[in-house]
Amino acid sequence: MVVLGLMVRHGEPIVDQWFTVVSHALLGRQPLWMLALNQVWLLVTLLAVAVVIALWRRQWRLAAVAGSCPVVSIAGARTLKVLFGRPWSADELAYPSGHTTVAVTVFAMLVLVIGIRVWTVLAGAILAIVPSIGMASNNFHYFTDIIGGVLYATSMVCLALLAVGPEALARSLGRTGN
C-alpha cells in the first residue's frame, strides 16, 4: 500500500487510464447503481447490526472491536491521504479511498460477527468491492485509490482480528461449542 501510494502521488498512472476506458466500455459512463451499497446510512446501519449481534451474544470485546474498526480505519485513511497528498480536485485528496476503507471494514466486521464461512466471506467481499469499484467507474476516484483502500482496510481488519483474540476468532470460525 505504501509503495503504491508513493508511486501514484503525482499524476495518473496508465492503470487508472486503462481502468476508466475498460469500465466505461463494460458498465457505461455512469453506473450509479454500483454506489447503492456505499450510502452512509446503510453502512452505519450494517455496522450497528454487527455490534448489536455481538452484544446480544455477550461478546463484549468483539462488539467493541467491530464498532471501532471502521471508525479508526477512516481516521487513519484521512491521515494517509494527507501524508500521500494525491490530489483529486482543488481541495480533495484521493489516496487511499476512504469510501473503500469503510465499505471493506464494515462488511468484514459483519462477516466476523455473523461467522466466517465461505459464503459470508464471498458475500462480504462482493458487497464491499462493487461500490468501491463503482467509485472509480463513476469517476469519483482513481482505480489505484480503490486498490490502496482495499489494501489499507485489509490490514486494519487483520489488526481487528488480532484484537478480538483467539477465542472470539475461533467462535466466528465455528470451532467451539459456544
* Upstream peptide bond of 70 is cis (omega within 30 degrees of 0): no
Percent of the chain that is helix, strand, coil (3-state, to 5): 75, 0, 20
pLDDT at position 43: 93
Domain annotation covers residue 31: no
Domain annotation covers residue 90: yes
Domain that holds residue 88: 38-172
Whole-angstrom distance, CA of residue 175 vs CA of residue 129: 28
Domain annotation covers residue 3: no
Residues in the chain: 178
pLDDT at position 1: 83
Best CA proximity match to 150, nearest among 129, 120, 131: 129
All residues at 6 or more sequence positions from 150 whose CB lies less than 8 Å from its CB, including other chains: 100, 104, 129, 132
Tens digit of pLDDT at every position of the chain (178 positions):
887 777 777 777 888 889 989 988 888 888 888 888 888 999 999 999 999 999 999 999 999 999 999 999 999 999 999 998 887 877 888 889 999 999 999 999 999 999 888 998 999 999 999 999 898 888 888 899 999 999 999 999 999 999 988 777 777 777 555 4
Domain annotation covers residue 1: no
Domain annotation covers residue 101: yes
Domain annotation covers residue 23: no
Cα within 13 Å of Cα(49), Cβ side:
13
Please state the domain count of the chain.
1
pLDDT at position 153: 96
Whole-angstrom distance, CA of residue 124 vs CA of residue 162: 19
pLDDT at position 94: 84
**Which residue in this structure is represented by grid cell 464471498?**
122
Domain annotation covers residue 24: no
Best CA proximity match to 146, nearest among 24, 38, 10, 21: 38
Instruction: Assign 6 to helix, strand or coil.
Output: helix
- Using only C-alpha atoms, the chain has a radius of gyration, in whole angstroms, of 17
pLDDT at position 175: 59
Characterize 132-146 residue by residue with b for buried, 16 or more Cβ atoms within 10 angstroms of its Cβ, and e for exposed: bbbbbbbebbbbbbb
Domain annotation covers residue 84: yes
